[in-house]
Amino acid sequence: MIEIKPFQLKSGTYTVPGDKSLSHRALLLSALFSKTMHIKNLNPGEDVLTTLDCLKKLEISFEKRNNEVKIFGDLQKCKNIEERFDCRNSGTTLSLFLGLHHKKSYFIGDESLSSRSFKPQCEILESLGSQFEFVKEKYYLPFYMKSPKNLLFKASIPSCYNLKSDSAQVKSMLLVLKEVYGASFSIRYKIKTRDHTERFLNFLNTQDNNSLIFKIPGDFSSAAFLITACLLSHSSEIKIENVGLNPTRTLFLALIKEMGGDVRFIVEQEEPEPWGSIYVKASKLKGVHVNKDWIPRMIDEIPCLALLALVAEGETVVRGAERLRNKESDRIKAICENFKKCGVHIEEYQGGFRIKNFRKNTPPSQKQIRVKENTVLTGYEDHRIIMMLSLLGMLSQRSFFIDEGRFVKVSYPQYFEDILGYDYNH
């Protein structure tokens, strides 16, 4: 249990941990090439440590010191695998490792991961000749997987694969599989999703040097909570340095501008991954109807949008975000149930929600959530939901509690220290 007291974000300069999505991909993709890759600013969270532990099962050699790791790649160790992989809470780890060649491997996860369906990944692999044995329920962990032989696989895959899923994890699984099998095919998709995998593979394939250095920029999804906190504040002004500005990740900034938020960014490096600085000032906001085609490129920032809707004038509507129900928690349910505990008028949809708020010129003193004494909000063991709930402290005149805080360590171990100014080590 963690107590959240009323607070305001301090003005100043901030940094965030290395990008979690890119950290996962850099680790596994480096293992597929006969190169030495020195990765700097690796995300320190528990999810990325899970990927490292799974690399140990492949007997991939690496040296880790603090947030740096040196990977000695060996493609042959990523084939004909017969191992037990504990993916814990990390869906990205599972998706990436499913792209390797398995003689027969067993995949498990924690309670949260085991409650999530991996139907898109399994159906694609089954169509290409992989075999699954589901221990409890079809498409859910735990399960066994057996990969097809090279020749069978190459005969079964089309020259162009039409990807129906809008998940970057599913796309990355296919790209890993392509490298492992030495296959030649293109991937066509309706909606562009984050392209860290493509960029990192291009970096590996275009470098003649067998010893490479790659610095991971700060995590944009973590920075989104700092951006949101600043916009919720009365008068804060912040700069976030060395943060990832990949255009497939930054649509949230465009949405903030549409809401009237004062936010801008400067790209300081373009390749292999864009990064730079983001500048934010406290702003008056207006509600927005989110285009459903935008959702895949800001899926992790929807909890932040829900917070901004609480202080925006007018109506905010999100639809087309059904995939949020299959994340670390059912995030749509988590947002709606917790907001209702705080007296927020929110309407829940299958693929989103609607929040209708204040009229023009409503004074800030009335833009408060109504928390009853000793209210306990539920984090659902989901790092993004816990981070979202903590920022409600900026809109409350009374302290409240979150049932569990430790899951922020999945992606942002220093979150409470950076945002609230004190550490939480439970």
pLDDT digits (tens, 9 = 90+) for 205-253: 998 889 999 999 999 999 999 999 999 999 999 999 999 999 999 999 9
Query: First vs last Cα of the chain: how many Å apart?
Result: 9
The whole-number pLDDT of residue 422 equals 67
* pLDDT band (50, 70, 90) for residue 152: low
Does residue 150 surpass a pLDDT of 90?
no
**Can you identify the CATH homologous superfamily of domain 2-17+218-420?**
Enolpyruvate transferase domain (3.65.10.10)
Identify the CA nearest to 177 among candidates 278, 288, 102, 256: 102
Domain 20-215 fold: UDP-n-acetylglucosamine1-carboxyvinyl-transferase; Chain (3.65.10)
Does residue 190 surpass a pLDDT of 90?
no
Q: Are 249 and 224 in contact (CB under 8 A)?
A: no
Mapped onto helix, strand or coil, the DSSP state of residue 69 is strand
pTM of the model: 0.92
How far apart are alpha carbons 294 and 351 in whole angstroms?
Answer: 13
Single-letter amino acid code for the residue at 351: G
The rounded radius of gyration (Å) of the Cα atoms in the chain is 22
Alpha-carbon separation of residue 285 from 303, 316, 352 (angstroms): 16, 11, 20
> Could you tell me the residue ranges of all domains in the chain?
2-17+218-420, 20-215
Burial class (CB in 10 A: 0-12, 13-18, 19+), 190: exposed
How far apart are alpha carbons 83 and 81 in whole angstroms?
Answer: 6
Fold agreement (2-17+218-420, 20-215): yes
Element at 156 (helix H, strand E): helix 150-156
The whole-number pLDDT of residue 423 equals 63
Catalytic residue among 300, 330, 382, 418: 300
Does residue 129 surpass a pLDDT of 50?
yes
Alpha-carbon separation of residue 10 from 65, 66, 263, 282, 353 (angstroms): 32, 28, 17, 11, 30
Q: Give bridge partners of residue 61 from the DSSP assignment.
A: 72
Does residue 194 surpass a pLDDT of 50?
yes
The mean pLDDT value of the chain amounts to 91
How far apart are alpha carbons 145 and 118 in whole angstroms?
Answer: 13
Catalytic residue at 403? Answer: no
